[in-house]
Structure 1
Amino acid sequence: MQKSFLIALVAAAVGALLIFQFLPTLPSYLAFLLGTVLAVGVFTVIPANGNGDSPSNTEYTGPTMTLYVGNLPYRVHEGEVKALFAEFGPVSSVRLVRDRKTGRRKGFGFVEMAESGAQKAMTKLNDYNFQERTLKVREAKNQDNDSEKSDD
Protein backbone atom coordinates (compact mmCIF):
# COMPACT_ATOMS: atom_id res chain seq x y z
CA MET A 1 0.00 0.00 0.00
CA GLN A 2 2.69 2.49 1.00
CA LYS A 3 4.77 1.59 -2.06
CA SER A 4 1.77 2.16 -4.34
CA PHE A 5 1.16 5.56 -2.76
CA LEU A 6 4.77 6.62 -3.37
CA ILE A 7 4.62 5.44 -6.97
CA ALA A 8 1.37 7.36 -7.51
CA LEU A 9 2.90 10.47 -5.90
CA VAL A 10 5.97 10.28 -8.15
CA ALA A 11 3.77 9.68 -11.20
CA ALA A 12 1.66 12.70 -10.28
CA ALA A 13 4.74 14.89 -9.84
CA VAL A 14 6.23 13.76 -13.16
CA GLY A 15 2.87 14.31 -14.85
CA ALA A 16 2.67 17.77 -13.33
CA LEU A 17 6.15 18.67 -14.60
CA LEU A 18 5.32 17.46 -18.09
CA ILE A 19 2.02 19.34 -18.15
CA PHE A 20 3.73 22.47 -16.80
CA GLN A 21 6.32 22.22 -19.62
CA PHE A 22 3.66 22.16 -22.32
CA LEU A 23 1.32 24.65 -20.67
CA PRO A 24 3.55 27.16 -18.83
CA THR A 25 0.62 29.56 -18.28
CA LEU A 26 -1.22 26.92 -16.21
CA PRO A 27 -0.71 27.41 -12.45
CA SER A 28 1.54 24.72 -10.93
CA TYR A 29 -1.10 23.51 -8.46
CA LEU A 30 -3.49 22.84 -11.37
CA ALA A 31 -0.72 21.03 -13.25
CA PHE A 32 -0.12 18.84 -10.16
CA LEU A 33 -3.84 18.17 -9.80
CA LEU A 34 -4.10 17.23 -13.49
CA GLY A 35 -1.01 15.00 -13.10
CA THR A 36 -2.65 13.31 -10.12
CA VAL A 37 -5.82 12.65 -12.09
CA LEU A 38 -3.75 11.17 -14.94
CA ALA A 39 -1.79 8.97 -12.48
CA VAL A 40 -5.03 7.65 -10.96
CA GLY A 41 -6.31 6.92 -14.45
CA VAL A 42 -3.14 4.98 -15.32
CA PHE A 43 -3.28 2.95 -12.08
CA THR A 44 -6.93 2.15 -12.71
CA VAL A 45 -6.20 0.79 -16.18
CA ILE A 46 -2.98 -1.08 -15.24
CA PRO A 47 -3.41 -3.72 -12.48
CA ALA A 48 -1.26 -3.30 -9.36
CA ASN A 49 0.55 -6.64 -9.82
CA GLY A 50 1.36 -5.87 -13.45
CA ASN A 51 0.20 -9.30 -14.60
CA GLY A 52 -3.55 -8.91 -14.77
CA ASP A 53 -5.41 -12.18 -14.84
CA SER A 54 -2.56 -14.30 -16.16
CA PRO A 55 -2.98 -18.07 -15.86
CA SER A 56 -0.14 -18.29 -13.32
CA ASN A 57 -2.17 -16.19 -10.86
CA THR A 58 -5.32 -18.29 -11.06
CA GLU A 59 -5.82 -20.96 -8.42
CA TYR A 60 -5.44 -24.57 -9.54
CA THR A 61 -8.58 -26.63 -8.83
CA GLY A 62 -7.71 -30.10 -10.17
CA PRO A 63 -6.31 -33.12 -8.30
CA THR A 64 -3.39 -32.19 -6.07
CA MET A 65 -0.60 -33.99 -4.25
CA THR A 66 1.36 -32.80 -1.23
CA LEU A 67 5.12 -33.26 -1.37
CA TYR A 68 7.54 -33.34 1.53
CA VAL A 69 10.65 -31.29 0.72
CA GLY A 70 13.59 -31.93 3.01
CA ASN A 71 17.09 -30.49 3.42
CA LEU A 72 15.97 -27.01 2.39
CA PRO A 73 18.31 -24.09 3.07
CA TYR A 74 17.32 -22.40 6.33
CA ARG A 75 17.12 -18.95 4.71
CA VAL A 76 14.91 -19.99 1.78
CA HIS A 77 11.54 -18.26 1.39
CA GLU A 78 8.20 -19.67 0.28
CA GLY A 79 8.35 -17.72 -2.98
CA GLU A 80 11.69 -19.28 -3.97
CA VAL A 81 10.41 -22.80 -3.29
CA LYS A 82 7.16 -22.04 -5.15
CA ALA A 83 9.11 -20.76 -8.17
CA LEU A 84 11.27 -23.91 -8.21
CA PHE A 85 8.29 -26.28 -8.12
CA ALA A 86 6.15 -24.13 -10.46
CA GLU A 87 8.45 -25.18 -13.32
CA PHE A 88 6.72 -28.58 -13.17
CA GLY A 89 3.08 -27.54 -12.69
CA PRO A 90 0.67 -25.27 -10.82
CA VAL A 91 1.54 -24.86 -7.12
CA SER A 92 -1.39 -24.39 -4.71
CA SER A 93 0.59 -23.74 -1.53
CA VAL A 94 4.01 -23.85 0.10
CA ARG A 95 4.42 -24.32 3.86
CA LEU A 96 7.90 -24.10 5.36
CA VAL A 97 8.01 -25.50 8.89
CA ARG A 98 9.30 -23.28 11.70
CA ASP A 99 10.39 -24.02 15.25
CA ARG A 100 7.62 -22.91 17.62
CA LYS A 101 9.99 -21.46 20.22
CA THR A 102 12.57 -19.70 18.05
CA GLY A 103 10.55 -19.05 14.89
CA ARG A 104 13.48 -20.25 12.76
CA ARG A 105 12.89 -22.52 9.81
CA LYS A 106 13.64 -26.19 10.37
CA GLY A 107 14.90 -26.96 6.86
CA PHE A 108 11.86 -28.78 5.51
CA GLY A 109 8.40 -28.03 4.25
CA PHE A 110 5.46 -29.10 2.15
CA VAL A 111 4.43 -28.17 -1.38
CA GLU A 112 0.88 -28.79 -2.58
CA MET A 113 0.68 -28.85 -6.36
CA ALA A 114 -1.00 -30.42 -9.36
CA GLU A 115 -0.74 -34.22 -9.23
CA SER A 116 0.86 -34.56 -12.68
CA GLY A 117 3.39 -31.83 -11.90
CA ALA A 118 4.13 -33.35 -8.49
CA GLN A 119 5.18 -36.63 -10.10
CA LYS A 120 7.56 -34.76 -12.42
CA ALA A 121 8.87 -32.62 -9.55
CA MET A 122 9.60 -35.68 -7.40
CA THR A 123 11.58 -37.25 -10.23
CA LYS A 124 13.51 -34.12 -11.19
CA LEU A 125 14.02 -32.41 -7.83
CA ASN A 126 14.89 -35.34 -5.57
CA ASP A 127 18.67 -35.14 -5.02
CA TYR A 128 18.64 -31.77 -6.84
CA ASN A 129 21.24 -29.21 -5.73
CA PHE A 130 19.31 -26.09 -4.62
CA GLN A 131 21.21 -23.19 -3.04
CA GLU A 132 24.09 -25.50 -2.09
CA ARG A 133 21.77 -28.09 -0.45
CA THR A 134 20.70 -31.46 -1.87
CA LEU A 135 16.91 -31.61 -1.72
CA LYS A 136 14.95 -34.68 -0.69
CA VAL A 137 11.51 -34.73 -2.31
CA ARG A 138 8.94 -37.40 -1.45
CA GLU A 139 5.19 -37.74 -1.35
CA ALA A 140 4.02 -36.46 2.02
CA LYS A 141 2.55 -39.03 4.37
CA ASN A 142 -1.10 -38.58 5.35
CA GLN A 143 -1.37 -37.29 8.93
CA ASP A 144 -4.54 -39.35 9.52
CA ASN A 145 -2.70 -42.60 8.77
CA ASP A 146 0.17 -41.64 11.09
CA SER A 147 -2.15 -40.94 14.03
CA GLU A 148 -3.99 -44.25 13.53
CA LYS A 149 -0.71 -46.18 13.64
CA SER A 150 0.37 -44.53 16.88
CA ASP A 151 -3.00 -45.32 18.57
CA ASP A 152 -2.59 -49.10 18.07
Structure 2
Amino acid sequence: TTADKSTIETKSIWVGNVDYGASVYELEDHYRSCGVIVRATILHDKYSGKPKGFAYVEFVNAGSVELALTLNDTILHGREIKI
Protein backbone atom coordinates (compact mmCIF):
# COMPACT_ATOMS: atom_id res chain seq x y z
CA THR A 1 0.00 0.00 0.00
CA THR A 2 1.00 3.63 -0.26
CA ALA A 3 1.33 3.95 3.53
CA ASP A 4 3.64 0.93 3.67
CA LYS A 5 5.75 2.32 0.83
CA SER A 6 6.20 5.70 2.50
CA THR A 7 7.13 4.01 5.79
CA ILE A 8 9.78 1.94 4.03
CA GLU A 9 11.14 5.06 2.32
CA THR A 10 11.75 6.73 5.69
CA LYS A 11 13.89 3.77 6.72
CA SER A 12 15.83 3.37 3.46
CA ILE A 13 18.77 4.94 1.67
CA TRP A 14 19.77 5.03 -1.98
CA VAL A 15 23.45 4.24 -2.55
CA GLY A 16 25.10 5.38 -5.77
CA ASN A 17 28.44 4.66 -7.44
CA VAL A 18 28.39 1.05 -6.25
CA ASP A 19 31.15 -0.99 -7.89
CA TYR A 20 29.84 -3.59 -10.34
CA GLY A 21 31.78 -6.30 -8.50
CA ALA A 22 30.41 -5.45 -5.05
CA SER A 23 28.11 -7.97 -3.40
CA VAL A 24 25.04 -7.48 -1.24
CA TYR A 25 27.02 -8.95 1.66
CA GLU A 26 29.72 -6.28 1.30
CA LEU A 27 27.06 -3.58 1.14
CA GLU A 28 25.37 -4.92 4.29
CA ASP A 29 28.72 -5.14 6.06
CA HIS A 30 29.49 -1.51 5.17
CA TYR A 31 26.25 -0.28 6.79
CA ARG A 32 25.99 -2.80 9.64
CA SER A 33 27.30 -0.26 12.17
CA CYS A 34 24.31 2.01 11.41
CA GLY A 35 21.68 -0.41 12.66
CA VAL A 36 19.80 -3.60 11.90
CA ILE A 37 19.35 -4.07 8.16
CA VAL A 38 16.10 -5.49 6.79
CA ARG A 39 17.48 -5.90 3.28
CA ALA A 40 20.05 -4.59 0.86
CA THR A 41 19.40 -4.71 -2.85
CA ILE A 42 21.77 -4.05 -5.74
CA LEU A 43 19.73 -3.33 -8.83
CA HIS A 44 20.49 -5.18 -12.07
CA ASP A 45 19.53 -4.53 -15.69
CA LYS A 46 16.63 -6.83 -16.54
CA TYR A 47 17.99 -7.65 -20.00
CA SER A 48 21.71 -8.08 -19.44
CA GLY A 49 21.62 -9.03 -15.75
CA LYS A 50 24.53 -6.69 -15.08
CA PRO A 51 24.52 -4.41 -12.02
CA LYS A 52 23.35 -0.83 -12.60
CA GLY A 53 25.78 0.71 -10.10
CA PHE A 54 23.32 1.65 -7.39
CA ALA A 55 21.55 0.00 -4.50
CA TYR A 56 19.04 0.43 -1.70
CA VAL A 57 19.50 -0.41 1.96
CA GLU A 58 16.47 -0.69 4.24
CA PHE A 59 16.88 -0.51 8.01
CA VAL A 60 14.57 -1.58 10.84
CA ASN A 61 14.59 1.93 12.34
CA ALA A 62 14.39 5.33 10.65
CA GLY A 63 17.14 6.58 12.99
CA SER A 64 19.60 4.32 11.22
CA VAL A 65 19.22 6.44 8.09
CA GLU A 66 20.83 9.42 9.87
CA LEU A 67 23.79 7.25 10.85
CA ALA A 68 24.05 5.89 7.32
CA LEU A 69 24.20 9.41 5.90
CA THR A 70 27.46 9.93 7.80
CA LEU A 71 28.97 7.26 5.53
CA ASN A 72 28.45 9.37 2.41
CA ASP A 73 31.67 9.61 0.35
CA THR A 74 33.22 6.59 2.09
CA ILE A 75 34.99 3.86 0.12
CA LEU A 76 33.24 0.59 -0.67
CA HIS A 77 34.96 -1.94 -2.89
CA GLY A 78 37.43 0.71 -4.05
CA ARG A 79 34.86 3.37 -5.02
CA GLU A 80 33.53 6.49 -3.28
CA ILE A 81 29.86 5.79 -2.67
CA LYS A 82 27.15 8.45 -2.64
CA ILE A 83 24.03 8.47 -0.52
Q: Which one has a larger percent strand, Structure 1 or Structure 2?
A: 2
Matched, 1:76 2:22: yes
- Of 65, 70, 84, the residue aligned with 2:11 is 65
Query: Which SS does the other structure have where 2:11 is aligned?
Result: strand
Structure 1 residue ranges, 4+ long, deviating more than 4 angstroms after superposition: none
Contact 2:37–2:57 under 8 Å retained in 1: yes
Q: Which runs of 5+ in 1 are unaligned?
A: 1-62, 138-152
Matched, 1:115 2:69: no
Matched, 1:86 2:1: no
Query: Which SS does the other structure have where 1:80 is aligned?
Result: helix
Q: TM-score scaled to structure 2, two decimals?
A: 0.82
Deviations 1:44-102 (A, max 9, x none): xxxxxxxxxxxxxxxxxxx8611000000101111111111111100001111001111
Contact 2:15–2:82 under 8 Å retained in 1: yes
| Higher relative contact order (Cα pairs below 8 Å, separated by 6+ residues) | 2
| CA–CA separation in structure 2 for the residues paired with 1:78 and 1:95 | 6
Q: Which runs of 5+ in 2 are unaligned?
A: 1-7
| CA–CA separation in structure 2 for the residues paired with 1:118 and 1:102 | 31
Contact 2:73–2:81 under 8 Å retained in 1: yes
- % of aligned pairs identical? 28
Query: Which SS does the other structure have where 1:110 is aligned?
Result: strand
Query: Which SS does the other structure have where 2:57 is aligned?
Result: strand
RMSD across aligned positions (CA): 1.4
Q: TM-score scaled to structure 1, two decimals?
A: 0.46
